[in-house]
Amino acid sequence: MNTKSFNQTLGREIKRIREEKGITQEELASRMNVNAQNISSYERGERCPSLFWMNRLYTALGIDPAKFTDELYQKLNTEPIASNITVINPIPKEINTPLPNELIDPLSEELN
């Protein structure tokens, strides 16, 4: 995923949450002590807020940073990258780990 795609996904999430909470761009900007043009540029994916501004965003929107980050990560790993291609979440490490022999042996005995 490139920077532009990341910024656009982040911007859509910021806008979605802001609108769900019934907050205008101007009100969010006031809560964050920035101008509304900054909020607009974040939501359009033209700019990405720094960690400092993300912390203010979390507070201004009343959202949990860990939950927001997790949801954003899920969206980044499942959003279509083209009309016919979708990125799938990586397989968790646990799934790629081979079963220990003590678990395989009983299974193989059942098959025989």
pLDDT digits (tens, 9 = 90+) for 76-88: 877 555 555 555 5
Q: Which domain holds residue 82?
A: 3-111
Question: Distance from CA of residue 102 to its chain's centroid?
Answer: 39
Domains contained in the chain, number: 1
Taking a C-beta distance cutoff of 8 angstroms, is the pair 7, 45 a contact? yes
Q: What is the mean pLDDT of residues 42-51?
A: 93
Please say if the pLDDT value at position 27 is more than 60.
Answer: yes
Question: Distance from CA of residue 10 to its chain's centroid?
Answer: 7
- Whole-model pTM? 0.67
Confidence of residue 74 (pLDDT cuts 50, 70, 90): confident
